[in-house]
Amino acid sequence: MTVRTRFAPSPTGFLHIGGVRTALFNWLFAQRHGGKFILRIDDTDEIRNLETALEPILKGLQWLGITWDEGPGVGGDRGPYFQSQRADRYATAAKQLLDTGFAYRDFATPEELDAERKEAQAAGRPFLYSRRFAAFDEKAATQFEAEGRRAVVRLKMPREGNLVIDDKVRGQVTFAWEREQDHVIQRADGSCLYHLATVVDDHDMEISHVIRAEEHLSNTPRQAFIYQSLGYTLPTFAHLPLVAEPGSRTKLSKRKLAKYLKNRDFAQVNEHGMKIANQIGLEPESDTFNPVIVDFYRDVGYLPWAVDNYLTLLGWSLDDHTEFFTRSQLIENFSLERVNSSPASFDPKKLWTVQDHYMQQLSTAEKLDLMMPFLLKSGLVDEPITDEIKGLVAQIIEASGDRLKVAGDILTYATFFLVKDLVLDPAAVTKRLAKPGTADLLKRFIEHIEAVEPFHPETLESALKSVVESSGKKVGDLIHPVRVAVTGTTVGPGLYDCLTILGREKSLARLRDALEFCQ
């Protein structure tokens, strides 16, 4: 049997991190078994602007390298791949269920149903619809219609026996049929609901393995009933553990951002991303730009594989020590058997360290390619990009070393090299320049480096040390003021590297400018 898996997102305007994890596992499983991964769009509800709502999802998956074999943009012979274009298929299926007696027309009003539901709850027994307004023949239907009632189509669920699902993650799960509701599959206006649509689609698209989040486990019986009643064979089910909130077991949701921001790690990662976004003029809105949404990571300059690798570890592990995988290693080793069954909470800080790991593997040239767009967007560098600029940025990248965690971090470390007029951070001035004796030391350092040859880290270091030694001071007494003078801040790459990259002219100019802040 050919393995065919699918991911069926609703076009909501953004790609959620939990959704990505589901997509990833489906993709990995298909890859592992030489199968196909299908992308289907669940747009049964009215979508105001499909294009706008869909694009971030498609772009996000593409960025992550989660490619689909059939679906939007690539086609396929089991389409269409948009539920909105498949309404007639669902209606046909609903009619078939009606004709074969597995569904019935129900004329109850929502209020009548609600009353029954409340009654059952008050009595402490499970709710089971009385089927009081069910029309099992034309005569009854005509009568209800004469009363001005309108019918929906409900599943006529079995009321005895059990259903046993052999879930690939959870093992055997048993449901009693009598606890299952007669769910509505078609509204009075003829439109069909999710559960019917999903089953019909999965069957039409020959999905062999339904791999989805645990929230769907309880939905499985009613879907299984539809499969059976329509004469379809059941796919293999695998219910993945939920991706939970940071430090919690509750399902991760895009709506509870304020709560997540109270989590220190989450807040830290968010703030770091926000800073970069602001520097490249994104002016992001927090409901579409935050660590729960994939765009955040792309826009800030994370590596897609770092996100994939981290997300894979959320609910799956190979063994007791392997954490980093190449794409092919992962595909080779992925299996549903090693998927965990308990919820996994999303830890942005761990993603951060996975990202750090992969970033440090890159060559300077690779980092340059990733980071240059950020410099362009921020306006620190203009088109056309000359070899001179490239060389300069490459030097900055090398000097910055593993301080660069994401591509956007280049903005933090390149700014003071590229900016025309350096603005000194007032706090740094107070801390490092406005100290007695600093002016004198700086002046002597300026004299030393005016003529030092060559203008290189080693020679600059010995120049600085000789100034310090001859004045009976400590290295820190001079090195910190110099750093603030030439970079405007207290943190950065090695000082001698900074001076060298900046060059003699600029270094001297900045040192002289800084004298006015000294004592």
* Residue positions annotated with a catalytic role: 254
- In the bound complex, what is the minimum distance in angstroms from residue 213's beta carbon to RNA? 8
Q: Which residue has the tokens 């800030």?
A: 300
Task: Please report, as residue ranges, which positions from 183 to 202 form the binding site for RNA (by CB under 7 A).
Answer: 183-184, 187-188, 193-195
**Is residue 495 a contact residue for RNA (CB under 7 A)?**
yes
Does 499 interact with RNA (rule: CB under 7 A)? no
The residue assigned the tokens 């069926």 is 8
Q: Where are the alpha helices (DSSP H) in 231-303?
A: 257-260, 264-279, 294-300
382-411: which residues touch RNA (CB under 7 A)? 401-403, 405
335 binds RNA (CB under 7 A): no
**Which residues within the stretch 259-278 sit at the binding site for RNA (CB under 7 A)?**
265
Q: Contact between 319 and RNA (CB under 7 A)? A: yes
**DSSP states along 374-435:** HHHHHTSS-SS--HHHHHHHHHHHHHHGGG--SGGGHHHHHHHHH-SS----HHHIIIIISS
Of positions 95, 159, 249, 262, contacts RNA by CB under 7 A: 249
Does 364 participate in binding RNA (rule CB under 7 A)? no
Q: At its nearest, how many Å lie between RNA and the CB of residue 433?
A: 14
Of 172 and 283, CB closest to RNA: 172
Q: Is the distance from CB of 155 to CB of 102 less than 8 angstroms?
A: yes
Chosen residue from 326, 329, 341, 519 binding RNA by CB under 7 A: 341
Residue type, 19: G
Identify the residue among 39, 58, 134, 152 touching RNA (CB under 7 A).
152
The most distant pair of C-alpha atoms in the chain lies apart, rounded to whole Å, by: 110
Residue closer to RNA, measured from CB, 42 or 308: 42
Nearest CA-CA partner of 351 in 319, 332, 323? 323
Query: Residue 368 — φ and ψ, nearest 5°?
Result: -60, -45
* Residue 177 in the binding site for RNA (CB under 7 A): no
- Footprint on residues 36-95 left by RNA (CB under 7 A): 42, 44-45
Q: Residue by residue, what is the 3-state secondary structure of 33-60?
A: CCCEEEECECCCCCCCCHHHHHHHHHHH
CA distance 431 to 450: 26
Instruction: Give how many residues touch RNA by CB under 7 A.
Output: 85
Q: Considering only residues 277-316, where is the footprint of RNA by CB under 7 A?
A: 313-316
Q: How many CB atoms lie within 10 A of CB 293?
A: 25
* E strand or H helix that includes residue 213: strand 209-213
Task: Out of 65, 75, 190, 476, name the contact with RNA by CB under 7 A.
Answer: 476
- Which residue in the set 60, 241, 273, 301 belongs to the binding site for RNA (CB under 7 A)? 241
Residue closer to RNA, measured from CB, 323 or 440: 323
Residue 118 or 327 having the CB closest to RNA: 118
CB atoms within 10 A of CB 231: 9
User: What's the start-to-end Cα distance of the chain, in Å?
Assistant: 81
Which of helix, strand or coil describes residue 134? strand
Which of 254, 349, 448, 473 contacts RNA by CB under 7 A? 349
Q: Is 459 in the site for RNA (CB under 7 A)?
A: no
Stretch that binds RNA, among 24-32, 104-112, 290-298, 376-384 (CB under 7 A): 104-112
DSSP 379: T
